[in-house]
Chains A and B, each alone.
Chain A
Amino acid sequence: MLSRVANNLFWMDRYIERSYGLLNLIKTNFNSTLDSGDYSSWNNILSIYLGIDKNQQFENYQDSLSIIKFILFDKNNANTHLNMIINARENARSVQEHISRELWLSVNKYYLHFSNTDIINKYENDDPITFVNDLLLFNHIYYSVADITQERGNAYCFMNLGKYLERVVQSIDFISVRINTMDLKNENIYESFFWKNLLISIGGYQLYLKKYKSIFGHENIIEMIALNENFPRSIKYSVNKLHIHIERLYRFNNLEDNQLLFKIGKLKNHLNYTTIENIKEEGIDAFLFYLQSELREISSIINKTFFYQIQ
């Protein structure tokens, strides 16, 4: 497989995954502002996801609806939903001979749906949750179509590399920004709706209830997001997936230099032998710092191993 094609497949899934994270955040944050009436919660999303720094944030936007409209539709910010879908589709368009026909059709339909000229009208006249749910459905279709139609070769592995790398980055951001910097003086955090929204935004509410019952606490959440191996958005789960796909890529392409395999295997095992107590001892900052620097290195070795020729 061409390096350029591999790179496009990687980014196609990465954009879809990122858009998925963004849509979920929009939905739950909107929900929580309905409960709390506090619009400042958008600031985190704007800075992490859209790269807008604190001092140019949204004095002009008085309400969630207009902020969501910006996050979804702004043409000039590269990280809006619109631009992510455009990018995912451009990447798909240039690798059509490597993805299943059905997968291309599903990405193209998503793009056509969201770039339709009527779509903003629809947003303005619709309830935002319904609107975002309709979009999420396209993401779900994408994942299912990929699952049942995509051949398990190089292409599938590169797509998964993009998907899980993006997911693990999102989960780390989630812990570092939304949990770790939690304002413990904010009285809202003693309200259950706060926790509920937080967990729903990463799809972990049901699992959390099952495991920790209704005892909310940020250590439990960190444990679940970092170390639960059955939670599909946990760091551990994503790293395991990365390991599986990297191992396959080594086999498919007869690679000799095993630096990447070594790195990802080491990270996987590190997480395997880490408990929440270890994290507490070590300090959450140190734990996150370790993960971030390992992933940065893994990213750069992925580039060097598979995509270097296009740099």
Chain B
Amino acid sequence: MIDNYTKYPNTWDEMFDESGKIRDTYRSFEHFLKSTPIDTINQMQDFSSQLFRDHGITFTVYNDNKGVERIFPFDVLPRIIKQSEWNVIEAGIKQRIRALNLFLRDAYHEQFIFKDGIIPRELLLNNSCFIREMTHLNVPKNIYTHISGVDLIRNNDGEFYVLEDNLRTPSGVSYMLENRQISRRLYPNLMPKSKVLPVDNYPQLLYQQLKTLVNKQNPEIVLLTPGLYNSAYYEHTTLARLMGVELVEGNDLVLDNHEVFMKTAGGLKKVDIIYRRIDDDYLDPLNFNSESVLGLAGIMEAYRQGNVVIVNAPGTGIADDKAMYVYVPDMISYYLNEEPILKNIQTYQLGKPEERDFVFKNIDEMVLKKTDGSGGYGMLMGKNATEAEINDYIKEVNKKPQKYIAQPILSLSSAPCIIDNELSPRCVDLRPFAICGADEIKVCPGGLSRVALKKNSLVVNSSQGGGSKDTWVIKN
């Protein structure tokens, strides 16, 4: 099976080096792949799908108003990272999160970074994620982004680059946990031998980090979900279950004298920390979207008065959109006086005429994105688009060029997957999860490796044919 493996051209492969030799990290899998018949591997694949289904590990997709539960495709071969590489990633993420928190505080207070001309002020003024109610508000322990999922890719030079900082309500962490559970079942011998760093304590880590946000012995922490019909509902129940906290919906909460309570069978119970998995827009109908029935009217005032902690803080979206992304290395040197450990991907801002011209001339090599888009929507992949599609897109861009950015077409690294009875490369990214508490930032060793299951595709999003792999960080 290994002999028939055809690598993608100009792509870093996680298992094979340029000369086609197997990298050290995958040594144990060489033996596994050589000695295991394909039927057995297919059975492992079936076994894992069945396990996902039986456990109800599903996400809901909506078609014609009818929700269909799907499982997130899982490839049985793990993606393996050396601990020495991981250490760099970890340090890089911590550095970024520190800088981003300082930036958020600055942006909602004195705005030095804008006054000093490091970042153009328009990016803040025109930012739809900017929340006026957050200005000059001192958030608990000065933390804005408590939970972040930083998307990384490995470029063809073998280095990790940051693709996106997800600072709002990043999801996927339950898949990191479940994938590991399945690996345990699939590789009862291989796993312990490989000395994989554990990820299972993420829920405890999260709980302990959240606890540091208030000065209280046993704060009441709840997880606020939009409800059963949300596509990430499974993740919400899993985290609540594993952290041992209540999973609440907006209707379960009530305000009294600007304090938040939950309605229990034994009466009202005060809530101290809300880990919310609903977007800013739906958080408080009095302040934001007045049609929202998901949040709690008046919660922003309770938050402003310091009676409840909202995690992540409202308004973090200003720091993770694609236009602000360009300036993260500048934030790192401005606030921390450090060199960025993890690089950004070269990004062109279409708001700048010369960069726009350059992008339009080289559109075949570019990916164009909306600065406020997510989930892989609203993108144009230059080399795959027809002329008409390109022209339409350019027309849209010219209406509001500052709303768009472009990046050279990336080469995501590939990892071997089992596809149609063969070992075949597919592109992967990596989303590690970082949790910021009052005293320190912790990053769970591993994360979610998403896989673009379509051949030659770069799109890893679950809504568009993506799958996932377990991510092993192994001791050197």
Chain A residues within 8 Å of B, Cβ to Cβ: 1-6, 90, 93-94, 96-97, 104-105, 108-109, 112, 154, 158, 249, 252-255, 305-307, 309-310
Assess whether B54 is interfacial by the CB under 8 Å rule.
yes
What are 14 pairs between A and B in contact, CB < 8 Å? Answer: A2-B264, A3-B265, A4-B263, A93-B56, A93-B233, A93-B237, A94-B247, A97-B237, A97-B241, A108-B54, A154-B265, A253-B267, A307-B265, A310-B263
Taking a contact as CB atoms under 8 Å apart, the answer to whether A108 and B265 are in contact is no
Taking a contact as CB atoms under 8 Å apart, the answer to whether B265 and A94 are in contact is no
Chain A: which residue is nearest B240 at the CB level?
A: A97
CA distance A137 to B375 in the complex (A): 43
B53 contact set on A, CB distance < 8 A: 112
- 6 extra interface residue pairs, beta carbon distance < 8 Å, beyond A2-B246, A2-B264, A4-B252: A97-B240, A97-B245, A249-B265, A252-B266, A310-B251, A310-B263
Taking a contact as CB atoms under 8 Å apart, the answer to whether B55 and A108 are in contact is yes
A112 contact set on B, CB distance < 8 A: 53-54
CA distance A123 to B94 in the complex (A): 58
Known: A3-B252, A4-B251. A105 touches B54 (CB 8 A): yes
Tell me if A's interface is mostly helix, strand, loop or mixed: helix
CA distance A112 to B56 in the complex (A): 9
CB distance from A159 to the nearest CB of B (A): 13
CB distance from A305 to the nearest CB of B (A): 8
Most A Cβ at <10 Å: residue of B54, B246, B254, B264? B264
A-B contact count (CB 8 A): 67
Q: What sequence of 0s and 1s flags, for each residue 243-266 of chain B, a beta carbon within 8 Å of any chain A beta carbon?
A: 011111101101000000011111
Chain B: which residue is nearest A96 at the CB level?
A: B237
Assess whether B228 is interfacial by the CB under 8 Å rule.
yes
CA distance A182 to B266 in the complex (A): 45
CB distance from B271 to the nearest CB of A (A): 11
Number of interface residues of B (CB under 8 A): 26
Chain B: which residue is nearest A253 at the CB level?
A: B266
A2 contact set on B, CB distance < 8 A: 246, 248, 252, 262-265
Taking a contact as CB atoms under 8 Å apart, the answer to whether B55 and A3 are in contact is no
Known: A93-B237, A97-B241, A97-B247. A3 touches B264 (CB 8 A): yes
Chain B residues within 8 Å of A, Cβ to Cβ: 53-56, 227-228, 233, 237-238, 240-241, 244-249, 251-252, 254, 262-267
CA distance A200 to B381 in the complex (A): 67
CA distance A90 to B251 in the complex (A): 18
Taking a contact as CB atoms under 8 Å apart, the answer to whether A253 and B263 are in contact is no
CB distance from A50 to the nearest CB of B (A): 24
A252 contact set on B, CB distance < 8 A: 266
CB distance from B229 to the nearest CB of A (A): 10
CB distance from A150 to the nearest CB of B (A): 14
A3 contact set on B, CB distance < 8 A: 252, 263-265
CA distance A109 to B53 in the complex (A): 9
CA distance A255 to B228 in the complex (A): 30
CA distance A187 to B240 in the complex (A): 60
B265 partner, pick from A6, A96, A97, beta carbons under 8 A: A6
Taking a contact as CB atoms under 8 Å apart, the answer to whether B228 and A94 are in contact is yes
A4 contact set on B, CB distance < 8 A: 249, 251-252, 263
Chain A: which residue is nearest B245 at the CB level?
A: A97
CA distance A252 to B265 in the complex (A): 10
